[in-house]
Amino acid sequence: MGFFLLDDTYARYYVRWEESGAVWGLDYSMRADGGTVESRGGTVGSILPALVSSGDLDRFRRDVDDGYCTAVYDLTPWD
């Protein structure tokens, strides 16, 4: 659906989950360890369904108020 640059390192990707229609914010790193720009947001297609089907997604939920989505998840561990 879209994205928002949080700062010079992180971005939040907004996705709509088809089954419920809910919009979720998924936080990703935009930089590799060496500091080069390297978005890994394209991995959401494989990570998100696996986390939802396993019931693991909620452990990555952040306590963040974002008016563009119903929940925010920190997916930086998959960077």
- Please check whether residue 35 lies inside any domain of the structure: no
pTM of the model: 0.79
Q: 21 CB contacts (<8 Å, ≥6 apart)?
A: none
- Asked if the model's pLDDT at residue 26 lies above 70, the reply is yes
Residue 11 domain-assigned?
Answer: yes
Give the chain's domain count: 1
Residue 35: what pLDDT?
63
Q: Which of 34-38, 39-43, 73-77 has the lowest mean pLDDT?
A: 39-43
Q: Is residue 73 part of a domain?
A: yes
DSSP category for residue 54: H
Residues in the chain: 79
Residue numbers of the domain that contains 73: 1-22+67-79
